[in-house]
Chains A and B, each alone.
Chain A
Amino acid sequence: MSMRGLRSRRSRVAEHVLRIPRSGIRDFFDIVSQRQDVISLSIGEPDFDAPWHVREAAIFALEKGATHYTSNRGLLRLREAVSRYVERNFALQYDPETEILVTVGVSEAVDLALRAILSPGDEVIYHEPAYVSYAPLTAIAHGRPRPVVTRMEDEFRLRPEAIRRQLSERTQALLLNFPNNPTGAELSADDLRGIARVAEEEDLIIITDEIYAELTYDQAHTTIASLPGMKQRAIFLHGFSKGWAMTGFRIGYACGPAELIEAMMKIHQYSMLCAPVLAQEAAIGALLDGLDDVEQMRNEYRRRRNFLLRSFAQMGLRCVVPRGAFYSFPYVGELGLSSRDFALRLLEEESVAVVPGTAFGTCGEGFVRCAFATAMEEIEEATERMGAFVARYRKAGA
């Protein structure tokens, strides 16, 4: 038998890709899509369309003939606007020429960052419950994801001690996402300092996904990258999808030390070339004229959050107050149903869609994610139905 013959018995899909499990959200999506008249609290994007200023900027650019490639790093005008915005809002100074890369959403930026810094077998510590892409993207970059569990009792904050327990010789990076999807958690100043100390002592790179930074409801967001000594080891990832309701534009950016941004740019230039020019033009519009819109949306989310929390309290469900993002993560484990069964039966019996907490890591068992990126009237109706559902199961269990 030839060596080629031996090869043919192997899978046609790369082994490390085969090992990646199917996304729990995708699974649930297939079930929900078959149903009509569902009120969905399972959507992780704003219900608002992008602000008119933003759309108009894209239309204007298109009329002017903005249909060409841009610099690999992105339009300089956008990088300059990003630099000003990040300095004003996050107290971080980045050079638009060398320290900022415009990407196709934060999703691409996370992928680039991981591929740029991981050698095969390197480990990345991240916290769970977490956004669905961190572990798979780490694996795709031939790294090993090392989850740290965060708990409701701690308000889903990340404890420095918990990070230390997951450290190994191969730990290369710490991946953070606060305000958090799916819990809405934020970190306190103490938490940030503690985590920064670990990063410093253990010489870790910090990848921080700040996509919800504008959407905080009780106090302004502080990024770990702005703490003393952190800028040189932090890759600050941000974008326009959530704060400006621009998910479909697919536009974001990475800021960091020139060496790391250069490495990310190397991958980006071959795999993506550049972010779409219209999305870049829209992003410039967002930074120049879209800030009032962000403010208005934030106020609306805050009211919806308050409404949801009050409703959960009336149902007798425990829920950590989401300080940011647009997700609540109530605990439904007392009803004697798994997260998945709760979500499936709620969908079946009341036509309300929520996402099982397990889609965000095994420690999400017992929880469901209810987004408040849905119109108030729908939230009112959904909580009424959910209340009836919970009462019914409580009675059955009693």
Chain B
Amino acid sequence: MDELLELLKRNALETPENLGKMLGLNADEVRKRIAEYEERGVIRGYQAVINEDVLALDRVNAVIEVKITPERHGGFDRIARRICKFPEVQSAYLMSGAYDLLLFVSGRNLKEVATFVSEKLATIEGVVSTATHFMLKTYKQHGLMMEGEDEYERLKVSP
């Protein structure tokens, strides 16, 4: 992957000036390349990684395994896209193995998610079965640990 993308993945708030200094470009070149990535749809957006556990939001997050019947034309895509339209669905992946789609779903409470599954998801034509797992605690997401560890002491000067 382009080094610029790697750096943005790590910290999207880094200024074009600083990014340029790291990569040996000037700030305008960096802005231009970011704009191109946005235009091409490589960069789809910028978000903060939030540890919701700290906020005590009373929201629930669930992972749902979905089996679907592929269609003659388009395979899984049409049904997958249809499922993705629901705002409850945060992420969706086509999987190999025992089921077809893996959904990350979020809702205000257990009941809301359960209702979504039984009334919206399971009733879609082509959905064969679902298995819902509720998340209890987040340890790591997007490569970041959710609880910081105390740093081990390092000397301030060394040869």
Which A residues are within 8 Å of any B CB, using their own CB?
23, 25, 28-29, 32-33, 38, 40, 42-45, 47, 49, 131-133, 181, 299, 303-304, 306-307, 310-311, 353, 355, 359, 376, 380
Check B21 against A25 for contact (C-beta < 8 Å). no
Query: 8 Å CB contacts to A: which residues of B123-159?
Result: 152, 154-159
Check B159 against A23 for contact (C-beta < 8 Å). yes
Which B residues are within 8 Å of any A CB, using their own CB?
3, 7, 18, 20-24, 152, 154-159
Residue of B22, B24, B156 near A376 (CB, 8 A) is: B22
Check A32 against B156 for contact (C-beta < 8 Å). yes
Check A307 against B18 for contact (C-beta < 8 Å). yes
Check B156 against A132 for contact (C-beta < 8 Å). no
Residue of B nearest to A354 (CB): B157
Q: Give the one of B18, B21, B159 with max A CB within 10 A.
A: B159
* Distance, CA A42 to CA B3, complexed state (A): 27
Residue of B nearest to A34 (CB): B156
**Chain A nearest Cβ from B155, distance in angstroms:** 7
Residue of A23, A43, A307 near B154 (CB, 8 A) is: A43
In the complex, chain A residues whose CB is within 8 Å of the CB of B157 = 25, 28-29, 32-33, 40, 42-43, 353, 355
In the complex, chain A residues whose CB is within 8 Å of the CB of B155 = 29, 43, 45
In the complex, chain B residues whose CB is within 8 Å of the CB of A43 = 154-158
Interchain residue pairs with CB less than 8 A apart (7): A23-B159, A28-B157, A29-B158, A33-B156, A303-B3, A303-B23, A306-B23
Check B22 against A306 for contact (C-beta < 8 Å). yes
**Chain B nearest Cβ from A5, distance in angstroms:** 42
Check A303 against B7 for contact (C-beta < 8 Å). yes
In the complex, chain B residues whose CB is within 8 Å of the CB of A380 = 18
In the complex, chain A residues whose CB is within 8 Å of the CB of B159 = 23, 25, 44, 131-133, 181, 359
**Chain B nearest Cβ from A384, distance in angstroms:** 11
In the complex, chain A residues whose CB is within 8 Å of the CB of B22 = 303-304, 306-307, 376
Residue of A nearest to B14 (CB): A376
**Chain B nearest Cβ from A345, distance in angstroms:** 16
* Distance, CA A26 to CA B4, complexed state (A): 39
* Distance, CA A310 to CA B158, complexed state (A): 25
**Chain A nearest Cβ from B159, distance in angstroms:** 5
* Distance, CA A333 to CA B158, complexed state (A): 23
Check A42 against B154 for contact (C-beta < 8 Å). no
* Distance, CA A306 to CA B158, complexed state (A): 23
* Distance, CA A86 to CA B155, complexed state (A): 31
**Chain B nearest Cβ from A306, distance in angstroms:** 5
In the complex, chain B residues whose CB is within 8 Å of the CB of A311 = 21
* Distance, CA A166 to CA B92, complexed state (A): 70
* Distance, CA A181 to CA B158, complexed state (A): 12
**Chain B nearest Cβ from A116, distance in angstroms:** 23
